[in-house]
A and B are shown apart, each in its own frame.
Chain A
Amino acid sequence: MIRMRELRKDFTVRVKAGRLRRTKRTVSAVDGIDLTIEPGEMVGYIGPNGAGKSTTLKMLTGVLAPSSGEVSVFGLTPVPQRTRLALRIGVVFGQRSQLWWDLPLGESFRLLRHIYRVPPAEHETRLRRCRDLLDLDEFLDTPVRQLSLGQRMRGELTAALLHGPRVLFLDEPTIGLDVVSKQAVRSFLAELGASGDVTLVLTTHDLADIERLCDRLVVIDHGRVVHDGSIEALHARYGSRRSLVVDLDEPLPPDFALPGATVTGSAADGHRVTFALDGTSAGTAVAGLVAVASVRDLSVVEPDIEDVVARLYQAG
Protein backbone atom coordinates (compact mmCIF):
# COMPACT_ATOMS: atom_id res chain seq x y z
CA MET A 1 0.00 0.00 0.00
CA ILE A 2 2.81 2.41 0.91
CA ARG A 3 6.20 1.83 -0.69
CA MET A 4 9.38 3.84 -0.42
CA ARG A 5 12.52 2.85 -2.29
CA GLU A 6 15.79 4.70 -1.74
CA LEU A 7 13.76 7.78 -0.93
CA ARG A 8 15.81 10.94 -0.49
CA LYS A 9 15.13 14.58 0.16
CA ASP A 10 17.94 17.10 0.05
CA PHE A 11 17.59 20.74 1.01
CA THR A 12 19.98 23.46 -0.04
CA VAL A 13 21.09 25.72 2.77
CA ARG A 14 22.95 28.96 2.12
CA VAL A 15 25.69 29.61 4.64
CA LYS A 16 27.42 32.94 5.17
CA ALA A 17 31.04 32.72 4.06
CA GLY A 18 32.43 36.22 4.29
CA ARG A 19 30.86 39.66 4.19
CA LEU A 20 28.88 39.23 1.02
CA ARG A 21 29.67 35.73 -0.13
CA ARG A 22 27.39 32.85 0.64
CA THR A 23 28.07 29.23 -0.08
CA LYS A 24 25.50 26.56 -0.74
CA ARG A 25 25.41 23.44 1.37
CA THR A 26 23.23 20.41 0.77
CA VAL A 27 21.56 18.82 3.76
CA SER A 28 19.94 15.41 3.45
CA ALA A 29 16.75 15.39 5.50
CA VAL A 30 15.84 11.93 4.25
CA ASP A 31 18.77 9.82 3.17
CA GLY A 32 17.65 6.69 1.34
CA ILE A 33 14.66 5.19 3.11
CA ASP A 34 13.28 1.78 2.11
CA LEU A 35 9.97 0.94 3.71
CA THR A 36 6.81 -0.95 2.87
CA ILE A 37 3.62 -0.58 4.89
CA GLU A 38 0.76 -3.02 4.41
CA PRO A 39 -2.98 -2.26 4.72
CA GLY A 40 -4.30 -2.18 8.29
CA GLU A 41 -0.88 -1.71 9.90
CA MET A 42 -0.41 0.81 12.70
CA VAL A 43 3.10 2.14 12.34
CA GLY A 44 4.88 4.42 14.77
CA TYR A 45 7.46 6.53 12.98
CA ILE A 46 9.82 8.10 15.47
CA GLY A 47 13.17 9.82 15.57
CA PRO A 48 14.88 12.79 17.22
CA ASN A 49 14.16 16.36 16.10
CA GLY A 50 15.39 16.88 12.56
CA ALA A 51 15.59 13.15 11.83
CA GLY A 52 13.38 13.48 8.76
CA LYS A 53 10.03 12.20 10.07
CA SER A 54 7.86 15.10 8.94
CA THR A 55 9.76 15.36 5.67
CA THR A 56 8.98 11.70 4.93
CA LEU A 57 5.32 12.28 5.74
CA LYS A 58 5.22 15.31 3.48
CA MET A 59 6.70 13.27 0.63
CA LEU A 60 4.14 10.51 1.25
CA THR A 61 1.29 13.00 1.10
CA GLY A 62 2.53 14.83 -1.99
CA VAL A 63 3.39 18.12 -0.30
CA LEU A 64 7.12 17.80 -0.98
CA ALA A 65 8.75 16.38 -4.08
CA PRO A 66 11.49 13.78 -3.35
CA SER A 67 15.00 14.60 -4.55
CA SER A 68 15.40 11.00 -5.70
CA GLY A 69 14.04 7.52 -5.12
CA GLU A 70 10.55 6.17 -5.46
CA VAL A 71 7.46 6.61 -3.37
CA SER A 72 3.97 5.31 -3.98
CA VAL A 73 0.77 5.28 -1.96
CA PHE A 74 -2.08 3.14 -3.34
CA GLY A 75 0.06 2.84 -6.46
CA LEU A 76 -0.12 6.62 -6.95
CA THR A 77 2.94 8.85 -7.11
CA PRO A 78 2.16 11.53 -4.51
CA VAL A 79 3.34 14.82 -6.06
CA PRO A 80 2.03 14.52 -9.65
CA GLN A 81 -1.13 12.69 -8.50
CA ARG A 82 -1.59 14.69 -5.33
CA THR A 83 -5.21 15.71 -5.80
CA ARG A 84 -6.29 12.10 -6.55
CA LEU A 85 -4.31 10.86 -3.59
CA ALA A 86 -5.86 13.49 -1.32
CA LEU A 87 -9.26 11.83 -1.73
CA ARG A 88 -7.91 8.59 -0.26
CA ILE A 89 -5.71 9.78 2.58
CA GLY A 90 -6.30 11.75 5.74
CA VAL A 91 -3.61 13.91 7.27
CA VAL A 92 -3.26 15.63 10.63
CA PHE A 93 -0.29 17.89 11.22
CA GLY A 94 -0.26 18.53 14.96
CA GLN A 95 1.41 21.90 14.52
CA ARG A 96 -0.73 23.11 11.66
CA SER A 97 -4.42 23.51 11.14
CA GLN A 98 -6.45 22.35 8.18
CA LEU A 99 -9.56 24.03 9.55
CA TRP A 100 -10.73 27.51 8.63
CA TRP A 101 -9.72 29.96 11.31
CA ASP A 102 -12.76 32.22 10.93
CA LEU A 103 -15.44 29.57 10.55
CA PRO A 104 -17.28 27.55 13.20
CA LEU A 105 -16.07 23.96 13.39
CA GLY A 106 -19.35 22.59 12.01
CA GLU A 107 -19.08 24.95 9.03
CA SER A 108 -15.54 23.70 8.32
CA PHE A 109 -16.89 20.15 8.26
CA ARG A 110 -19.68 21.11 5.86
CA LEU A 111 -17.14 22.79 3.61
CA LEU A 112 -14.94 19.70 3.64
CA ARG A 113 -17.94 17.61 2.57
CA HIS A 114 -18.22 19.75 -0.56
CA ILE A 115 -14.49 19.83 -1.24
CA TYR A 116 -14.23 16.03 -1.00
CA ARG A 117 -17.66 15.51 -2.61
CA VAL A 118 -18.85 13.16 0.11
CA PRO A 119 -22.51 12.03 -0.18
CA PRO A 120 -24.54 13.70 2.63
CA ALA A 121 -25.60 10.40 4.26
CA GLU A 122 -22.01 9.11 4.45
CA HIS A 123 -20.82 12.45 5.80
CA GLU A 124 -23.51 12.45 8.45
CA THR A 125 -22.70 8.89 9.59
CA ARG A 126 -18.97 9.60 9.92
CA LEU A 127 -19.54 12.93 11.62
CA ARG A 128 -21.95 11.39 14.12
CA ARG A 129 -19.38 8.73 15.01
CA CYS A 130 -16.69 11.35 15.57
CA ARG A 131 -19.09 13.55 17.54
CA ASP A 132 -19.84 10.64 19.85
CA LEU A 133 -16.29 9.40 20.28
CA LEU A 134 -14.60 12.79 20.51
CA ASP A 135 -17.34 14.76 22.31
CA LEU A 136 -17.50 17.47 19.67
CA ASP A 137 -21.04 18.69 20.29
CA GLU A 138 -20.26 21.33 22.87
CA PHE A 139 -17.98 23.30 20.53
CA LEU A 140 -19.35 22.50 17.08
CA ASP A 141 -20.69 26.05 16.67
CA THR A 142 -17.55 27.75 18.01
CA PRO A 143 -15.22 29.45 15.50
CA VAL A 144 -11.98 27.49 15.19
CA ARG A 145 -9.91 30.44 16.42
CA GLN A 146 -11.67 30.25 19.81
CA LEU A 147 -11.10 26.51 20.37
CA SER A 148 -8.62 25.20 22.92
CA LEU A 149 -5.74 23.14 21.54
CA GLY A 150 -7.38 19.89 22.70
CA GLN A 151 -10.70 20.83 21.11
CA ARG A 152 -9.00 21.88 17.89
CA MET A 153 -7.06 18.63 17.69
CA ARG A 154 -10.29 16.67 18.06
CA GLY A 155 -11.69 18.80 15.26
CA GLU A 156 -8.59 18.17 13.13
CA LEU A 157 -8.94 14.40 13.57
CA THR A 158 -12.57 14.56 12.53
CA ALA A 159 -11.71 16.75 9.53
CA ALA A 160 -9.12 14.21 8.42
CA LEU A 161 -11.60 11.33 8.59
CA LEU A 162 -14.81 12.74 7.12
CA HIS A 163 -14.03 11.61 3.57
CA GLY A 164 -13.36 8.04 4.73
CA PRO A 165 -9.61 7.81 4.03
CA ARG A 166 -7.95 4.39 3.95
CA VAL A 167 -4.65 5.75 5.28
CA LEU A 168 -4.28 8.26 8.06
CA PHE A 169 -0.99 10.13 8.44
CA LEU A 170 -0.60 11.77 11.82
CA ASP A 171 2.31 14.10 12.48
CA GLU A 172 2.58 14.61 16.23
CA PRO A 173 -1.16 14.58 16.90
CA THR A 174 -0.77 14.76 20.69
CA ILE A 175 1.78 17.60 20.79
CA GLY A 176 0.96 20.11 23.51
CA LEU A 177 -2.17 18.29 24.69
CA ASP A 178 -3.05 17.76 28.35
CA VAL A 179 -3.33 14.24 29.77
CA VAL A 180 -7.10 13.98 29.32
CA SER A 181 -7.03 15.20 25.73
CA LYS A 182 -4.13 12.88 24.94
CA GLN A 183 -6.10 9.96 26.31
CA ALA A 184 -9.16 10.96 24.28
CA VAL A 185 -7.10 11.15 21.09
CA ARG A 186 -5.32 7.86 21.80
CA SER A 187 -8.54 5.97 22.61
CA PHE A 188 -10.11 7.29 19.44
CA LEU A 189 -7.14 6.25 17.31
CA ALA A 190 -6.96 2.86 19.03
CA GLU A 191 -10.60 2.22 18.19
CA LEU A 192 -10.02 3.35 14.64
CA GLY A 193 -7.01 1.07 14.27
CA ALA A 194 -8.82 -1.88 15.85
CA SER A 195 -11.49 -1.72 13.14
CA GLY A 196 -8.74 -2.66 10.67
CA ASP A 197 -10.18 -0.39 7.96
CA VAL A 198 -7.56 2.31 8.30
CA THR A 199 -3.80 2.13 8.01
CA LEU A 200 -2.19 4.48 10.46
CA VAL A 201 1.22 6.12 10.22
CA LEU A 202 2.02 8.15 13.30
CA THR A 203 5.01 10.31 14.15
CA THR A 204 5.39 11.43 17.72
CA HIS A 205 7.82 12.27 20.48
CA ASP A 206 5.47 10.84 23.07
CA LEU A 207 6.37 7.19 23.23
CA ALA A 208 3.24 6.40 25.21
CA ASP A 209 1.36 7.05 21.95
CA ILE A 210 3.44 4.35 20.29
CA GLU A 211 3.09 1.86 23.14
CA ARG A 212 -0.65 2.34 23.19
CA LEU A 213 -1.29 2.33 19.46
CA CYS A 214 1.40 0.84 17.29
CA ASP A 215 2.38 -2.73 16.62
CA ARG A 216 5.26 -1.69 14.42
CA LEU A 217 7.91 0.83 15.24
CA VAL A 218 10.17 2.48 12.69
CA VAL A 219 12.98 4.57 14.14
CA ILE A 220 14.83 6.97 11.87
CA ASP A 221 17.86 9.07 12.58
CA HIS A 222 19.79 11.37 10.24
CA GLY A 223 17.34 10.43 7.52
CA ARG A 224 17.95 6.68 7.73
CA VAL A 225 15.97 3.80 9.20
CA VAL A 226 17.79 2.50 12.28
CA HIS A 227 15.09 0.14 13.51
CA ASP A 228 12.05 -1.47 11.93
CA GLY A 229 10.08 -4.01 13.97
CA SER A 230 7.98 -4.46 17.08
CA ILE A 231 8.65 -2.69 20.38
CA GLU A 232 9.67 -6.07 21.87
CA ALA A 233 12.19 -6.54 19.07
CA LEU A 234 13.63 -3.13 19.92
CA HIS A 235 14.05 -4.13 23.56
CA ALA A 236 15.65 -7.45 22.57
CA ARG A 237 17.97 -5.77 20.10
CA TYR A 238 19.19 -3.14 22.52
CA GLY A 239 19.36 -5.48 25.50
CA SER A 240 16.71 -3.74 27.57
CA ARG A 241 16.31 -5.66 30.75
CA ARG A 242 13.66 -5.91 33.39
CA SER A 243 14.77 -4.68 36.81
CA LEU A 244 14.16 -6.05 40.26
CA VAL A 245 14.13 -3.45 43.02
CA VAL A 246 14.34 -4.84 46.55
CA ASP A 247 14.14 -3.14 49.96
CA LEU A 248 16.25 -5.02 52.53
CA ASP A 249 16.37 -5.02 56.33
CA GLU A 250 20.17 -5.20 56.23
CA PRO A 251 22.56 -4.30 53.38
CA LEU A 252 23.88 -7.22 51.33
CA PRO A 253 27.42 -8.48 52.00
CA PRO A 254 29.96 -6.81 49.65
CA ASP A 255 30.79 -10.04 47.81
CA PHE A 256 27.14 -11.01 47.24
CA ALA A 257 26.30 -12.26 43.71
CA LEU A 258 22.89 -13.28 42.39
CA PRO A 259 23.06 -15.77 39.47
CA GLY A 260 21.43 -14.34 36.33
CA ALA A 261 21.24 -10.80 37.68
CA THR A 262 23.59 -7.83 38.00
CA VAL A 263 23.49 -5.09 40.60
CA THR A 264 22.91 -1.81 38.77
CA GLY A 265 22.18 0.46 41.69
CA SER A 266 22.20 0.80 45.42
CA ALA A 267 20.50 3.43 47.56
CA ALA A 268 19.58 4.22 51.19
CA ASP A 269 22.91 2.93 52.52
CA GLY A 270 22.48 -0.37 50.74
CA HIS A 271 18.94 -0.95 51.98
CA ARG A 272 17.51 -0.55 48.45
CA VAL A 273 19.23 -2.50 45.68
CA THR A 274 18.35 -2.64 41.97
CA PHE A 275 19.20 -5.74 39.94
CA ALA A 276 19.04 -6.02 36.15
CA LEU A 277 17.67 -9.41 35.20
CA ASP A 278 19.95 -10.97 32.57
CA GLY A 279 17.64 -13.61 31.17
CA THR A 280 16.67 -15.12 34.50
CA SER A 281 13.05 -14.93 35.65
CA ALA A 282 11.98 -12.55 38.41
CA GLY A 283 10.77 -15.55 40.47
CA THR A 284 14.16 -17.32 40.37
CA ALA A 285 15.96 -14.12 41.27
CA VAL A 286 13.62 -13.42 44.20
CA ALA A 287 13.99 -17.01 45.44
CA GLY A 288 17.79 -16.71 45.33
CA LEU A 289 17.62 -13.42 47.19
CA VAL A 290 15.26 -14.39 50.03
CA ALA A 291 17.50 -17.41 50.73
CA VAL A 292 20.34 -15.12 51.86
CA ALA A 293 18.72 -11.81 52.84
CA SER A 294 15.71 -10.48 54.65
CA VAL A 295 13.53 -8.82 51.95
CA ARG A 296 11.05 -6.25 53.19
CA ASP A 297 9.58 -5.22 49.86
CA LEU A 298 10.21 -5.74 46.16
CA SER A 299 9.01 -4.63 42.73
CA VAL A 300 9.68 -5.73 39.16
CA VAL A 301 10.12 -2.84 36.71
CA GLU A 302 9.48 -3.36 33.00
CA PRO A 303 12.08 -1.88 30.63
CA ASP A 304 11.33 1.73 29.76
CA ILE A 305 10.96 2.38 26.04
CA GLU A 306 12.11 5.97 26.52
CA ASP A 307 15.48 4.75 27.82
CA VAL A 308 15.92 2.44 24.86
CA VAL A 309 15.00 5.10 22.39
CA ALA A 310 17.24 7.66 24.11
CA ARG A 311 20.13 5.21 23.83
CA LEU A 312 19.28 4.66 20.19
CA TYR A 313 19.22 8.40 19.44
CA GLN A 314 22.47 8.99 21.32
CA ALA A 315 24.17 6.15 19.46
CA GLY A 316 23.23 7.90 16.20
Chain B
Amino acid sequence: MWSGFRRYATYRQATIAGSFTNIVFGFLRCYVLLAVAAGAVGNRPGGYDVEQLATYVWVGQGLLAVTGIWGWTELADRIRTGDIASDLLRPVPPVVSYLAADLGRALHGTLTRFLGPVLVGLLFFPLASPHRWQTFPLFVLSVGLAVLGSFGCRFLVNATAYWLQDARGPQMLWTLGSGVLAGLYFPLRLLPEWLTVTLWVATPLPGLLQTPLDVLVERDSPALQAGLVALQAIWAVLLLWLASVVQRRAERKLVVQGG
Protein backbone atom coordinates (compact mmCIF):
# COMPACT_ATOMS: atom_id res chain seq x y z
CA MET B 1 0.00 0.00 0.00
CA TRP B 2 2.85 2.34 0.92
CA SER B 3 4.48 1.62 -2.43
CA GLY B 4 1.22 2.50 -4.20
CA PHE B 5 1.30 5.81 -2.35
CA ARG B 6 4.97 6.39 -3.24
CA ARG B 7 4.39 5.59 -6.90
CA TYR B 8 1.69 8.24 -7.22
CA ALA B 9 3.62 10.68 -5.03
CA THR B 10 6.40 10.59 -7.66
CA TYR B 11 4.27 12.52 -10.13
CA ARG B 12 3.71 15.85 -8.37
CA GLN B 13 3.01 17.88 -11.50
CA ALA B 14 0.34 15.37 -12.54
CA THR B 15 -1.26 15.80 -9.10
CA ILE B 16 -1.39 19.58 -9.51
CA ALA B 17 -2.67 19.37 -13.10
CA GLY B 18 -5.32 16.82 -12.05
CA SER B 19 -6.55 19.03 -9.21
CA PHE B 20 -6.76 22.02 -11.53
CA THR B 21 -8.82 20.03 -14.05
CA ASN B 22 -11.14 18.78 -11.29
CA ILE B 23 -11.71 22.37 -10.14
CA VAL B 24 -12.43 23.69 -13.66
CA PHE B 25 -14.94 20.92 -14.30
CA GLY B 26 -16.36 21.52 -10.83
CA PHE B 27 -17.35 25.04 -11.84
CA LEU B 28 -18.90 23.79 -15.09
CA ARG B 29 -20.93 21.06 -13.41
CA CYS B 30 -21.96 23.24 -10.52
CA TYR B 31 -23.30 26.07 -12.71
CA VAL B 32 -25.17 23.59 -14.93
CA LEU B 33 -26.81 21.87 -11.95
CA LEU B 34 -27.67 25.17 -10.28
CA ALA B 35 -29.26 26.29 -13.54
CA VAL B 36 -31.29 23.06 -13.54
CA ALA B 37 -32.27 23.71 -9.92
CA ALA B 38 -33.42 27.25 -10.80
CA GLY B 39 -35.84 25.81 -13.35
CA ALA B 40 -37.03 22.84 -11.26
CA VAL B 41 -40.22 22.63 -9.24
CA GLY B 42 -39.54 24.12 -5.80
CA ASN B 43 -35.89 24.51 -6.78
CA ARG B 44 -35.32 20.91 -5.64
CA PRO B 45 -34.38 18.69 -8.60
CA GLY B 46 -34.15 15.04 -7.55
CA GLY B 47 -34.89 16.05 -3.97
CA TYR B 48 -31.70 18.09 -3.49
CA ASP B 49 -31.71 21.73 -2.44
CA VAL B 50 -29.18 24.18 -3.90
CA GLU B 51 -26.64 23.73 -1.08
CA GLN B 52 -26.87 19.95 -1.32
CA LEU B 53 -26.33 20.12 -5.08
CA ALA B 54 -23.23 22.31 -4.73
CA THR B 55 -21.86 19.98 -2.06
CA TYR B 56 -22.64 17.01 -4.30
CA VAL B 57 -20.62 18.53 -7.12
CA TRP B 58 -17.57 19.78 -5.22
CA VAL B 59 -17.12 16.84 -2.89
CA GLY B 60 -17.74 14.62 -5.94
CA GLN B 61 -14.94 16.39 -7.80
CA GLY B 62 -12.66 15.74 -4.83
CA LEU B 63 -13.72 12.10 -4.59
CA LEU B 64 -12.95 11.42 -8.25
CA ALA B 65 -9.25 10.99 -7.54
CA VAL B 66 -9.95 9.00 -4.38
CA THR B 67 -12.16 6.34 -5.93
CA GLY B 68 -10.19 6.69 -9.18
CA ILE B 69 -12.85 5.24 -11.45
CA TRP B 70 -10.95 6.28 -14.56
CA GLY B 71 -7.54 5.89 -16.08
CA TRP B 72 -6.21 2.67 -14.55
CA THR B 73 -4.97 0.35 -17.30
CA GLU B 74 -1.92 -1.11 -15.58
CA LEU B 75 -3.20 -4.67 -15.28
CA ALA B 76 -4.46 -4.78 -18.88
CA ASP B 77 -1.15 -3.34 -20.11
CA ARG B 78 0.81 -5.93 -18.17
CA ILE B 79 -1.33 -8.74 -19.56
CA ARG B 80 -0.88 -7.40 -23.09
CA THR B 81 2.91 -7.13 -22.79
CA GLY B 82 3.29 -10.35 -20.80
CA ASP B 83 4.73 -8.55 -17.75
CA ILE B 84 1.93 -10.14 -15.76
CA ALA B 85 4.32 -13.12 -15.49
CA SER B 86 6.36 -11.12 -12.96
CA ASP B 87 3.24 -10.51 -10.85
CA LEU B 88 2.50 -14.21 -10.80
CA LEU B 89 5.95 -14.94 -9.39
CA ARG B 90 5.18 -13.17 -6.14
CA PRO B 91 3.97 -15.04 -3.07
CA VAL B 92 0.83 -12.86 -3.00
CA PRO B 93 -2.23 -13.34 -5.24
CA PRO B 94 -2.42 -10.55 -7.87
CA VAL B 95 -5.83 -9.34 -6.65
CA VAL B 96 -4.35 -8.74 -3.19
CA SER B 97 -1.19 -7.01 -4.42
CA TYR B 98 -3.06 -4.77 -6.87
CA LEU B 99 -5.65 -3.94 -4.21
CA ALA B 100 -2.90 -2.97 -1.75
CA ALA B 101 -1.32 -0.70 -4.37
CA ASP B 102 -4.74 0.78 -5.15
CA LEU B 103 -5.40 1.57 -1.49
CA GLY B 104 -2.08 3.44 -1.52
CA ARG B 105 -3.24 5.31 -4.60
CA ALA B 106 -6.54 6.16 -2.89
CA LEU B 107 -4.73 7.40 0.22
CA HIS B 108 -2.55 9.61 -1.95
CA GLY B 109 -5.68 10.87 -3.72
CA THR B 110 -7.34 11.62 -0.39
CA LEU B 111 -4.40 13.60 0.94
CA THR B 112 -3.58 15.54 -2.21
CA ARG B 113 -6.62 15.73 -4.48
CA PHE B 114 -9.66 15.68 -2.20
CA LEU B 115 -9.30 18.91 -0.30
CA GLY B 116 -8.55 21.24 -3.25
CA PRO B 117 -11.95 21.09 -4.99
CA VAL B 118 -13.80 21.05 -1.64
CA LEU B 119 -12.05 24.24 -0.49
CA VAL B 120 -12.69 25.97 -3.82
CA GLY B 121 -16.34 24.93 -3.63
CA LEU B 122 -16.52 26.32 -0.11
CA LEU B 123 -15.08 29.65 -1.26
CA PHE B 124 -17.43 30.21 -4.19
CA PHE B 125 -20.68 28.42 -3.27
CA PRO B 126 -22.80 27.81 -0.19
CA LEU B 127 -22.21 24.16 0.78
CA ALA B 128 -24.42 21.97 2.98
CA SER B 129 -23.04 20.75 6.29
CA PRO B 130 -24.37 17.50 7.80
CA HIS B 131 -26.75 17.67 10.73
CA ARG B 132 -26.54 14.08 11.99
CA TRP B 133 -23.44 12.90 13.89
CA GLN B 134 -23.49 9.46 12.22
CA THR B 135 -23.16 11.02 8.77
CA PHE B 136 -19.41 11.55 9.19
CA PRO B 137 -18.40 7.95 10.06
CA LEU B 138 -20.92 6.68 7.52
CA PHE B 139 -19.40 8.93 4.84
CA VAL B 140 -15.86 7.72 5.61
CA LEU B 141 -17.06 4.09 5.48
CA SER B 142 -18.94 4.74 2.27
CA VAL B 143 -15.85 6.29 0.63
CA GLY B 144 -13.79 3.27 1.70
CA LEU B 145 -16.37 0.92 0.18
CA ALA B 146 -16.48 3.04 -2.98
CA VAL B 147 -12.69 2.63 -3.29
CA LEU B 148 -13.01 -1.16 -2.94
CA GLY B 149 -15.94 -1.30 -5.39
CA SER B 150 -14.14 0.89 -7.88
CA PHE B 151 -11.05 -1.33 -7.66
CA GLY B 152 -13.16 -4.47 -8.17
CA CYS B 153 -14.84 -3.01 -11.27
CA ARG B 154 -11.58 -1.75 -12.76
CA PHE B 155 -9.83 -5.04 -12.06
CA LEU B 156 -12.61 -6.89 -13.91
CA VAL B 157 -12.52 -4.46 -16.85
CA ASN B 158 -8.72 -4.82 -17.06
CA ALA B 159 -8.94 -8.60 -16.68
CA THR B 160 -10.88 -8.85 -19.95
CA ALA B 161 -7.41 -8.51 -21.51
CA TYR B 162 -6.73 -12.11 -20.43
CA TRP B 163 -9.24 -13.15 -23.06
CA LEU B 164 -9.13 -10.24 -25.51
CA GLN B 165 -5.42 -9.36 -25.27
CA ASP B 166 -6.36 -5.72 -25.66
CA ALA B 167 -8.85 -4.23 -23.20
CA ARG B 168 -9.27 -0.83 -24.86
CA GLY B 169 -12.83 -1.62 -25.98
CA PRO B 170 -14.10 -2.62 -22.53
CA GLN B 171 -12.18 0.30 -21.04
CA MET B 172 -13.89 2.83 -23.31
CA LEU B 173 -17.24 1.31 -22.46
CA TRP B 174 -16.33 1.50 -18.78
CA THR B 175 -15.25 5.15 -18.97
CA LEU B 176 -18.49 6.10 -20.64
CA GLY B 177 -20.77 3.89 -18.55
CA SER B 178 -19.19 4.54 -15.17
CA GLY B 179 -19.28 8.33 -15.59
CA VAL B 180 -23.01 8.31 -16.31
CA LEU B 181 -24.13 5.51 -14.00
CA ALA B 182 -21.98 6.39 -10.99
CA GLY B 183 -23.69 9.76 -10.82
CA LEU B 184 -20.79 11.90 -11.96
CA TYR B 185 -22.45 13.75 -14.83
CA PHE B 186 -25.69 14.27 -12.94
CA PRO B 187 -27.16 12.85 -9.72
CA LEU B 188 -28.98 9.61 -10.55
CA ARG B 189 -31.93 10.81 -8.46
CA LEU B 190 -32.88 12.98 -11.44
CA LEU B 191 -33.86 9.78 -13.26
CA PRO B 192 -37.26 8.07 -12.82
CA GLU B 193 -37.46 6.26 -9.49
CA TRP B 194 -37.83 2.75 -10.95
CA LEU B 195 -34.61 3.25 -12.94
CA THR B 196 -32.74 4.65 -9.95
CA VAL B 197 -33.72 1.69 -7.78
CA THR B 198 -32.78 -0.76 -10.53
CA LEU B 199 -29.38 0.86 -11.00
CA TRP B 200 -28.69 0.84 -7.28
CA VAL B 201 -29.65 -2.77 -6.71
CA ALA B 202 -28.60 -4.37 -9.97
CA THR B 203 -25.29 -2.55 -10.57
CA PRO B 204 -22.40 -1.53 -8.32
CA LEU B 205 -21.99 1.78 -10.19
CA PRO B 206 -24.02 4.19 -7.97
CA GLY B 207 -21.93 2.90 -5.06
CA LEU B 208 -18.77 4.28 -6.65
CA LEU B 209 -19.68 7.95 -6.25
CA GLN B 210 -23.36 8.69 -5.78
CA THR B 211 -23.80 6.76 -2.51
CA PRO B 212 -21.01 8.50 -0.53
CA LEU B 213 -22.25 11.87 -1.83
CA ASP B 214 -25.87 11.13 -0.96
CA VAL B 215 -24.72 10.02 2.49
CA LEU B 216 -22.78 13.25 3.00
CA VAL B 217 -25.54 15.62 1.86
CA GLU B 218 -28.09 13.62 3.88
CA ARG B 219 -30.36 13.17 0.90
CA ASP B 220 -32.19 10.30 2.64
CA SER B 221 -33.49 9.29 6.07
CA PRO B 222 -30.95 7.72 8.48
CA ALA B 223 -32.30 4.22 7.78
CA LEU B 224 -32.06 4.56 4.00
CA GLN B 225 -28.67 6.24 4.38
CA ALA B 226 -27.36 3.17 6.27
CA GLY B 227 -29.14 0.81 3.87
CA LEU B 228 -27.38 2.34 0.86
CA VAL B 229 -24.01 1.86 2.55
CA ALA B 230 -24.92 -1.77 3.33
CA LEU B 231 -25.77 -2.28 -0.33
CA GLN B 232 -22.42 -0.78 -1.22
CA ALA B 233 -20.70 -3.25 1.15
CA ILE B 234 -22.48 -6.20 -0.46
CA TRP B 235 -21.37 -5.04 -3.90
CA ALA B 236 -17.79 -4.46 -2.74
CA VAL B 237 -17.53 -8.01 -1.35
CA LEU B 238 -19.17 -9.45 -4.45
CA LEU B 239 -16.84 -7.56 -6.80
CA LEU B 240 -13.68 -8.57 -4.95
CA TRP B 241 -14.82 -12.19 -4.88
CA LEU B 242 -15.61 -12.01 -8.60
CA ALA B 243 -12.21 -10.46 -9.32
CA SER B 244 -10.41 -13.31 -7.56
CA VAL B 245 -12.53 -15.93 -9.36
CA VAL B 246 -11.83 -14.31 -12.74
CA GLN B 247 -8.12 -14.08 -11.91
CA ARG B 248 -7.95 -17.78 -10.99
CA ARG B 249 -9.85 -18.74 -14.13
CA ALA B 250 -7.56 -16.57 -16.24
CA GLU B 251 -4.43 -18.13 -14.79
CA ARG B 252 -5.54 -21.51 -16.03
CA LYS B 253 -5.71 -20.35 -19.63
CA LEU B 254 -3.04 -17.68 -19.46
CA VAL B 255 -0.74 -17.23 -22.42
CA VAL B 256 2.24 -15.02 -21.59
CA GLN B 257 2.75 -12.73 -24.54
CA GLY B 258 6.14 -12.06 -26.05
CA GLY B 259 8.38 -14.96 -25.03
Contact = CB atoms under 8 A, between A and B. Distances in A.
Taking residues whose C-beta sits less than 8 angstroms from the other chain, chain B's interface range is 20 to 34
Contacts of A107: 3, 6
Contacts of A238: none
Interface string B146-188: 0000000000000000000000000000000000000000000
A64 interface: yes
A242 interface: no
Interface string B232-259: 0000000000000000000111111011
A164 interface: no
Contact of B90 (A64, A97, A115, A143): A115
A116 B259 CA distance: 26
Interface stretch (B65-73, B78-86, B126-134): B78-86
Nearest to B78: A96
Interface in A95-113: 95-98, 100, 102-103, 107, 111
Contacts of B256: 58, 63-64
Taking residues whose C-beta sits less than 8 angstroms from the other chain, chain A's interface range is 20 to 34
A208 B11 CA distance: 42
A62 B85 CA distance: 9
B6 A95 contact: no
Interface in A187-209: none
B88 A62 contact: yes
Contacts, number: 66
A97 B3 contact: no
A63 B89 CA distance: 7
Contact of B91 (A54, A63, A87, A102): A87
Nearest to A163: B91
Contacts of A63: 85, 88-89, 254, 256
A143 B252 CA distance: 34
A65 B252 contact: yes
Given A84-B91, A96-B83, A143 B10 contact: yes
A20 to B, nearest CB: 19
Nearest to B92: A115
A74 to B, nearest CB: 14
Given A62-B88, A102-B10, A107-B3, A83 B93 contact: yes
Q: Which of B82, B256, B259 has the most CB of A within 10 A?
A: B259
Given A83-B93, A115-B92, A115-B97, A95 B258 contact: yes
Given A97-B83, A143-B10, A82 B259 contact: no
A43 B2 CA distance: 38
Given A65-B252, A102-B7, A111-B3, A93 B85 contact: yes
A91 interface: yes
B89 A86 contact: yes
B91 A115 contact: yes
Q: Which of A62, A65, A89, A102 has the most CB of B within 10 A?
A: A102
A285 B86 CA distance: 55
Nearest to A104: B6
Contacts of B11: 102
Nearest to A88: B91
Given A58-B85, A82-B88, A83-B91, 5 more contacts: A62-B89, A63-B88, A83-B93, A93-B86, A96-B85
Interface of B: 2-3, 6-7, 10-11, 82-83, 85-86, 88-93, 97, 251-256, 258-259
